[in-house]
Amino acid sequence: MRMELIQPFINAADAVFAESLQAPTKIVDLEMDEESYRRKGVAALIAIKGDIEGRVILDLSPEVAIKVASQLAGTEVEASEQVVRETVCEMANMVIGNSVTLLNDQGFISKCFRRKFTWTKRGWPVAPRRKRW
């Protein structure tokens, strides 16, 4: 993967979180895994199609997801509340939307598509699973 294609996602994530939370941010634990993905917390997956294609996953630890949701809601929220998942999805939408805009400005034409979410401990497989006989 070329860094000039990855950097817009890093920049957008930093900007969206800093602006939304009105606080400095620090991006850590970025991973590029072409094999499989296992969700580690509260995650949203967005597909990108066009000149650049792939999937981008925003995965926040449960503790961070609750803090972000509470900050944006202006009140404490419980871990089990739907608002936590919806907050992560909305943050992912903003990050990916900004990233695709930056890439489109560079001449790459792509669009975002929100994927169906599954909330299991297994996470999402990168490739479709085949039945084993």
Domains delineated in the chain: 3-31+40-114 (3.40.1550.10)
φ and ψ at residue 130, rounded to 5 degrees? -105, 145
* pLDDT tens column, 58-68: 888 889 899 99
Which of 33-42, 55-64, 105-114 has the largest mean confidence?
55-64
Model pLDDT for residues 14-40, shown as the tens digit of each residue = 999 999 998 888 877 776 666 777 777
Give the helix ranges, DSSP H, for the chain.
Answer: 3-21, 62-73, 82-105
How far apart (Å, rounded) are the C-alpha atoms in residues 109 and 111?
A: 7
Using CA atoms, how far residue 30 sits from 3, 21, 39, 43, 104, in Å, is: 13, 20, 13, 14, 23
In the structure encoding, which two tokens stand for residue 47, read together? 């597909």
Is pTM, for the whole model, over 0.85?
A: no
- Closest alpha carbon to 88 in 49, 119, 127, 132: 119
